[in-house]
Structure 1
Amino acid sequence: MYKKNFIIRNLGIEPWYITYKKMNNFNLKRYDNTLDEIWLVEHTPVFTQGKTYNISDILYYYHDIPIFNTDRGGKITYHAPGQQIMYILINLKRRKINIKNLIFILEETVKNILSYFKIIPDTYHFNPGVYINNEKIASIGIKISKGCSTHGIAFNINMDLLPFKYIKPCGFKKLKMTQLKNFIPNIKIFKIKKLLIKEFILLINNCSN
Structure 2
Amino acid sequence: MTLPLAGPRVIVLGRRPYAATFDAMREFTAARTPDTPDEIWLVEHEPVFTQGVAGKAEHLLGAGDIPVVATNRGGQVTYHGPGQVVAYPLIDLKRLGIFVKEYVYRLEHAVLKVLEAQGVTGHRVAGAPGIYVRTDDPFGHAALTGPRPADDPFRGLAKIAALGVKISNHCTYHGVALNVDMDLAPFERINPCGYPGLRTVDLAKLGASTDWTTVARQLGDRLAAHLSP
Instruction: Give the TM-score taking structure 2 as reference length.
Output: 0.85
- 14, 17, 37: which one aligns with 2:16: 14
- Counterpart for residue 127 of structure 1: 128
Gaps of 5+ in 1: none
Deviation at 1:58, TM superposition (A): 1.1
Report the structure, 1 or 2, having the larger helix content. Answer: 1
Q: Using a 3 Å threshold, how does the CA distance of structure 1 residues 159 and 96 change in structure 2: closer, same or farther? A: same
Structure 2 residue 156 is matched with structure 1 residue 140: no
Aligned length: 203
1:94-138 CA-partner distances (Å, limit 9, x unpaired): 111111111111111111111122212225443000000221000
- Counterpart for residue 93 of structure 1: 94
Aligned Cα root-mean-square deviation (Å): 1.5
1:132-191 CA-partner distances (Å, limit 9, x unpaired): 022100000000000100000000001110010001100111110010111235321111
Structure 2 residue 206 is matched with structure 1 residue 183: yes
Q: What SS does structure 2 have at the residue aligned with 1:181?
A: helix
CA distance in 1, matches of 2:44, 2:76: 19
Q: What SS does structure 1 have at the residue aligned with 2:123?
A: coil
- Counterpart for residue 72 of structure 1: 73
Higher relative contact order (CA 8 A, sep 6+): 2
- Counterpart for residue 156 of structure 1: 179
Mean Cα deviation higher: 175-184 or 139-148: 175-184
CA distance in 1, matches of 2:124, 2:67: 34
Q: What SS does structure 2 have at the residue aligned with 1:24?
A: helix
CA distance in 2, matches of 1:115, 1:7: 23
Identity, % of aligned pairs?
A: 37
CA distance in 1, matches of 2:13, 2:117: 25
- Counterpart for residue 105 of structure 2: 104
- Counterpart for residue 150 of structure 2: none
Q: Which amino acid aligns with 1:57?
A: H
CA distance in 2, matches of 1:6, 1:122: 26
Asked if structure 2 preserves the Cα contact closer than 8 Å seen for 1:107 and 1:130, the reply is yes
Instruction: Give the TM-score taking structure 1 as reference length.
Output: 0.93
- Counterpart for residue 84 of structure 1: 85
Mean Cα deviation higher: 88-97 or 181-190: 181-190
CA distance in 1, matches of 2:186, 2:124: 27
Larger radius of gyration: 2
- 36, 44, 47: which one aligns with 2:46: 44
Q: Using a 3 Å threshold, how does the CA distance of structure 1 residues 170 and 123 change in structure 2: closer, same or farther? A: closer
1:53-99 CA-partner distances (Å, limit 9, x unpaired): 101011124x2110011000000000001000000101001111111
Deviation at 1:194, TM superposition (A): 1.6
Mean Cα deviation higher: 50-59 or 114-123: 114-123
Asked if structure 1 preserves the Cα contact closer than 8 Å seen for 2:42 and 2:220, the reply is no
CA distance in 1, matches of 2:89, 2:114: 18
Gaps of 5+ in 2: 1-5, 135-156
